[in-house]
Amino acid sequence: MTASLTEPDARPGPLGLPWPATASRTAEGALAVGGVGVHDLAARFGTPLYVVDEADMRARARAFRDAFTAAFADVGAHAEVYYAGKAFLCRAVARWMTQEGLRIDTATLGELTTALSAGVPGAQIGLHGNNKSDEEIELALRSGVGRIVLDSEPEVTRVADAAARLGGRAPVMVRVTTGVHAGGHEFISTAHEDQKFGLSLHAHDGETSPAMRALLAVLAREELDLVGLHSHIGSQILDAAGFDAAAGAVMALRADLAARTGVLVGEVDLGGGFGVAYLPGEVELEPERIAKETAGAVVRAAQETGTSVPDVSFEPGRSIAGPAGLTLYTVGTVKEVALPATSPDGATRLYVSVDGGMSDNIRTALYDARYHAEVVGRASRAPGVLARVVGKHCESGDVVVHDVLLPGDMRAGDLLAVATTGAYGRSMASQYNLVPRPGVVAVRDGVATPIVRRETVEDLLALDLG
Ligand SMILES: *Cc1c(COP(=O)(O)O)cnc(C)c1O
C-alpha cells in the first residue's frame, strides 16, 4: 500500500488540497464547489460528472503567468505561459486561459480547431506533435499560429514546403531532447534517448547532433523563421533540478548555434510538467518557486556561455487544470472481499463500485496513478475502512482509486468524489464498453454551467452506420 491513508473527515469547512480551492463541507456534511452543492449537481446533470472550479482554474493560470512574468522581468527577459491544452481543452477553457493572459498549446487538428473556434488568435497558439499531418500543418499556417514546434528532421522540410505552397513563412521552434527526464522528486540525465519526441543534443557519430542538424536545416530554408528552442522533460515534477539541467543543456546548444552561424535564437521554451498534490498531505510545485529557480538557472547558463538572457516560455497543463477539477460519481455495488491471510492490508477490502471507471479516468490503470476519494453527499461517523474504488467496466484492472479509507457504512446511492481529476480525465476518456463519456460542468459563485455536454447512447448509435 503506497497511498497515504487519511481518516474520512466530514467536518464542515473548507477542504484544502487535493480538492479545488472553493470546495467546502456544509453543516449537513455535503460537499459544495463553486458555491454549488453536489446534490444539486447530481440531480441536474447526473453522474458521473466532471466538475471544474472555474475560479480555481483561472487563479492557477494567473498565478503561473504572474510568477513567470515577474521572475523573468527581474532578469530583463520576457516570459509567456502557454496552457497545455491536452490536459483538458474545450472552448470555455480556451477563453478562460486567454482572458487570464495565457496562450494555448495544441498538438492535433482537434485541439487546434477548438482553440481557434473559441476565438483565440492564431498568433497566441502553438502547434506541437511528433507526427503532424499535412492538414494540421496547413491549418496552423493558414491561421497564423505563433509557432510550430518541429520534432524531426523530415518535418523541417515538410513545414517549409507547406509554407512555400501557401506563399508564406512559418515561425518554428526545434524541440530537443536534453537527456533529462524528470518526474516526482528525481530526475535522471542520460546521453541516449530511447523515446519518440524531439531531436537529440548528443552527436552519436562524434560530429553534428540531430538537434544541430535540424537547426542548420531550418536556417537554410528561407520560408522558416527560427523563433526558439524547446524542451519538455516530463510530468508531475516536484523539484526544480530537472529544469535547471535542461535549461543548461538548451542554453549550451543556443550558444553553440550562435558560434557556428551567428544566429542567437531569441526564445527558449522549457515546457511543462509541474507537479500537483493528488493525496492529502502532498505538496504541489509552487509557481513562484519554479519561476524563480528557472530564472536563476537561465541566467547562470547565459553567464556560463557568454550569451544574453533569452525570452522564455512555459507550458503548464496539469498544474492549472488538475486540482481545479473533481469527478462526482454515484456509488452502486458495495462488496466486502476477504483478503489472503498474508495480506499486509488486513482481513478485508471494501470494493466500492461507481457508475463510471476506467472510461472516465484511465490514469490509474495506465500509470498506476494515486487518487483521493471521499463520500461527499453526507457526513458519516462510521470509522474508515480500507476501500478500493472500482468502475463498471469488464476488466479487473478497472480501478479508479487503489487504496483509500472510506466510511464503513458506505452504501448504494452515496455520492463519492475523486479529487484532482481536472487534467487528463475528460481529455483521456474513452467510450469503452459503449459507456457514453460524462459531461463537464463549470461551477462558480453559486452557478453551474455545462461546458461539455454529456454523451448519450444516441450519440454512440449516431456513429454506428449499421
Ligand atoms: C504534456 C506536455 C505539456 C504539459 O505537461 P503537464 O504535465 O500537464 O504540465 C507541456 N508541453 C508538452 C510538449 C507536453 O507534451
Domain with 437 in it: what CATH number? 2.40.37.10
225 and 113 in one domain?
yes
Q: Is 316 annotated as a binding residue?
A: yes
294 and 212 in one domain?
yes
153-166 vs 210-219: helix crossing angle, rounded to 10: 20
Q: Domain for residue 274, yes or no?
A: yes
Closest ligand 1 atom to residue 234 Cα is: 7
- 421: cell is 481529476
- pLDDT of 94 > 90? The answer is yes
Q: Write out residues with Cβ below 6 Å of ligand 1.
A: 84, 86-87, 128, 232, 235, 271-274, 315-319, 423
182 and 309 in one domain?
yes
Residue at a domain's end among 265, 295, 322: 322
Extract the runs of DSSP E, i.e. beta strands, from 222-286.
224-230, 234-237, 267-269
Number of separate domains in the chain: 2
CA of 257 to the centre of ligand 1 (A): 26
Q: Is 438 annotated as a binding residue?
A: no
Quote the pLDDT of residue 194.
84
235, 233, 234, 243: which is closest to 290 by C-alpha?
243
297, 80, 23: which is closest to 187 by C-alpha?
297
Residue 170: what residue type? A
CA count, 13 A, side-chain hemisphere, 346: 11
294 and 328 in one domain?
no
Residue at a domain's end among 258, 288, 322: 322
CA of 287 to the centre of ligand 1 (A): 15
154 and 278 in one domain?
yes
Using one digit for the tens of pLDDT, what is the confidence trace for 362-412? 999 999 999 999 999 999 999 999 999 999 999 999 999 999 999 999 999
Is 90 labeled as catalytic in the residue annotation? no
Residue at a domain's end among 282, 297, 322: 322
Residue span of the structural domain in which 158 resides? 78-322
How far apart CA 54 and CA 20 sit, in angstroms, is: 9
Of 27, 394, 463, 465, the active-site residue reads 394
Q: Considering just the CA atoms, what is the radius of gyration of the chain in Å?
A: 24
161 and 19 in one domain?
no
Which residues pair with residue 176 across a beta bridge? 199
Mean pLDDT calculated for residue range 293-312:
97
335 and 289 in one domain?
no
How far apart CA 177 and CA 341 sit, in angstroms, is: 48
- The pLDDT-based confidence of 1 (bands split at 50, 70, 90) is very low
How far apart CA 299 and CA 309 sit, in angstroms, is: 6
123 and 46 in one domain?
no
153-166 vs 134-142: helix crossing angle, rounded to 10: 50
363 and 440 in one domain?
yes
How far apart CA 452 and CA 360 sit, in angstroms, is: 14
Report yes or no: 98 and 120 within 8 Å, Cβ to Cβ: yes
Quote the pLDDT of residue 5.
83
Quote the pLDDT of residue 191.
66
- pLDDT of 452 > 70? The answer is yes
Q: Domain for residue 267, yes or no?
A: yes
Using a pLDDT cut of 70, give the percent of the chain over it. Answer: 99
Q: Is 395 annotated as a binding residue?
A: yes
Report yes or no: 327 and 425 within 8 Å, Cβ to Cβ: yes
Quote the pLDDT of residue 412.
98
